[in-house]
Amino acid sequence: MSDLTQLSVAQCAELLNGKQISSVELCKAFIDQVKRVDPTIQAFLALEEDRVLAAAGESDKRRAAGSPLSAWDGIPIGIKDCISVKDERCSCASKILENFKAVYDAGVIRKLKSSGFIPFGRTNMDEFAMGSSCENSAFQKTRNPRNPECVPGGSSGGSAAAVAANEVPAALASDTGGSIRQPAAFCGVVGLKPTYGRVSRFGLVAFASSLDQIGPITKTVEDSAILLDTIGGHDPNDCTSLETECGGFAEGLKNASVKGLRIGLPKEYYELEGMSDSVRRCAEEAIETFRKLGAETVEVSLPHTKYSMACYYIVATAEASANLARFDGVRYGYRSPHARDVLENYMKSRGEGFGTEVKRRIMLGTYVLSSGYYDAYYLKAQKVRTLIRRDFENAYKQCDILLTPVTPATAFRFGEKSDPLQMYLSDVFTTSLNLSGNCGISIPAGKDPNGMPIGIQLMAPALAEQLLFHTAYAFERR
């Protein structure tokens, strides 16, 4: 093959199963690609070549013996730096965990390994998954492969950039308020946010526990289905993991059709001020494409959408302030060398270890949970969250699936959104999906006049990933 790094997961599997290439050859090709392009892109925080090639060698032995673990045995997958892989660094792109190595595999990593997939390095991210640009990493700024002057999106910018730059065929990431879908749109790849509870969170370093969800970033919709087939399903180690059947998504794509599908267009999303002309035009073209494929469109309303950003940043920061309390300089992670007593150890370790954005969100979360403000902010936000969930339920009575832009504009330049509020508004189209717990996918749909990718977002009811894949796959093929 001329360039193995151009391959999707499905294409890699076809060549491996046909014994046209070996896993070692495949992994070496991606390692070489990382060496070529990552000094510029900076998608990876770490990549242990020896571990990858050793795992690839074991995969080749299994295939030679006629006993591969699955059709995907020997394919490398990038891993966001907040997902635990035993004996590998898990820093969450934060100084406070810079030298921490995971002591166990996350639930999704166990499932990947049981199918023969090979964890391939640690991809960069906004510190503790807090950000929309990948500018908040404590170690480096990942660049958008489509234009290195622009951000790749966040918080999973490293995973999206690695896939877009052909440094790995696919990657795992996490989505708390759009952290898979937004960078996927910015980089021109596919990003899936599964139903809450569909994929185990065991081994995912928590940001906001009721919102976090692991999902794949891939080159194609088919690859996204393949990975959900692999990592989805119940995990007894995660008390929020759903006990429902999960699988057959990739196989189900054979019958993908949108004829007669009712696609809802939430008027609140399309009336938003500040949406760029190119994003609006791309969404309109996507709508017309679906009509030509036989789908129907209907206008629907999600009336509480205007409260979703405020609701999200109250709930998310409140949960973050509680989850990040464990990083205290005592049990593990960074400990300040300047502390003279226990209190100073807490204050200096956290003050020196956490970055600016993480401190901002911890303080916001502590404030909304404090005495006198809990009812006024946090409790009210939880009530609004229920209303947002009901909005989606009512909308799905009128349609099967929703179609919206992913972001108001395409990838912006580094430093362009220095105001935190401006940065938060990058997630205006994505946060409500996490609040509702439903599933959604970002797929490439076009480019702006500067050649930067534009994505569209499809949102479906809880556990309706097969419908989501069918719809996205039909659009992708068109």
Check if the beta carbon of residue 269 is closer than 8 Å to that of residue 405.
Answer: yes
Please give the positions annotated as active site.
80, 155, 179
Q: Is 46 helix (H, G, I), strand (E, B) or coil?
A: strand
- Please tell me what DSSP assigns to residue 218: E
> Which residues are registered as beta bridge partners of 15?
none
Beta strands in 332-463 (DSSP E): 401-405, 439-447, 453-460
The CA distance from 107 to 114, in Å, is 11
Check if the beta carbon of residue 78 is closer than 8 Å to that of residue 120.
Answer: yes
Burial class from Cβ neighbours inside 10 Å (0-12, 13-18, 19+) for residue 18 reads: exposed
Give the CA radius of gyration of the chain.
Answer: 21
Position 215: which residue type? G
**How do 262-266 and 401-405 pair as beta strands?**
parallel
The CA distance from 340 to 207, in Å, is 30
Which residue, 191, 193, 198, is CA-closest to 217? Answer: 191
Measured CA angle at 446 (ends 39, 300), to 5 deg: 125
User: Any idea which residue has 């009811």 for tokens?
Assistant: 461
User: Any idea which residue has 């390692």 for tokens?
Assistant: 31
As given in the structure block, the two tokens for residue 294 are 């036989």
